[in-house]
Amino acid sequence: MILIMGKKGFTLVEVMVATVIFAIGFLATLAMMTGATGGNKNSRVIGGAAEVAAQWMETLTSLTYTSIATDPLLVDPPGATNGIAFIRNPLPSIAQVQAVIPFTPDLPNPGARPADNTRTTPDGQYTIYWNVADNTPIPDTKTIMVIVTSTGWGLDAQRTVALQSIIPRR
């Protein structure tokens, strides 16, 4: 504080400097809160996708798979190629894959290797893909891969969760 002619008070320069320091701190706090809100939304979407994937995997692994009868949801569609290398993740799209690196057959490729089955959650927020491979990795087993993607959250990119399980013939 500067004393001028015996009077106490702040100069205009001191008030402006204090205002600038306060504004910088306020804007930094605002930016931090905005980032935290975005992170929370991302976590909520990924957590929801993981929950849907776990529930659907539980549903699929509890279905009948015997030598006499197999639930239709566990049937490997005709013409599908078996083997872990051919259990297909439906994302990213062909264009996204080719934009990042040159195309190779082992990359996720929904055009060439689409999911065996697809469902959307009743609220429309998630799409569930699942693939079944018979006799993989050994005879009398099925390998199931469940892939859940966010669809209705308005994010800049989809969020994906994938789970894989092997079930024996019972």
- Residue 55 in domain: yes
Separation CA 150–CA 155 (nearest Å): 9
- 10 Å Cβ neighbour count for 113? 19
Dihedral, 146, 152, 153, 154 alpha carbons, nearest 10: 130
- 10 Å Cβ neighbour count for 96? 11
Q: Which tokens belong to 45? A: 């979407």
In the predicted model, is pLDDT for residue 93 greater than 50?
no
Q: For the segment 68-82, what is each residue's pLDDT rounded down to a tens digit?
A: 677 888 887 766 554
In the predicted model, is pLDDT for residue 84 greater than 70?
no
Burial 7-36 (b: 16+ CB within 10 A, else e): eeeeeeeeeeeeeeeeeeeeeeeeeeeeee
- Residue 120 in domain: yes
pLDDT band at 97 (very low <50, low <70, confident <90, very high): very low
Mean pLDDT confidence for 125-154 = 82
- Residue 5 in domain: no
- Cα 58–chain centre separation: 19
pLDDT band at 20 (very low <50, low <70, confident <90, very high): very high
In the predicted model, is pLDDT for residue 138 greater than 70?
yes
Which residues contact residue 149 at a Cβ distance below 8 angstroms, ignoring those fewer than 6 apart? 49, 90, 91, 126, 127, 129, 158, 159, 160
- Residue 4 in domain: no
Helix (H) or strand (E) holding 144: strand 141-150
- Residue 123 in domain: yes
- Residue 6 in domain: no
Strand partners, 131: 145
Domains identified in the chain, total number:
1
- Residue 145 in domain: yes
Domain around 41: 12-168
pLDDT band at 44 (very low <50, low <70, confident <90, very high): confident
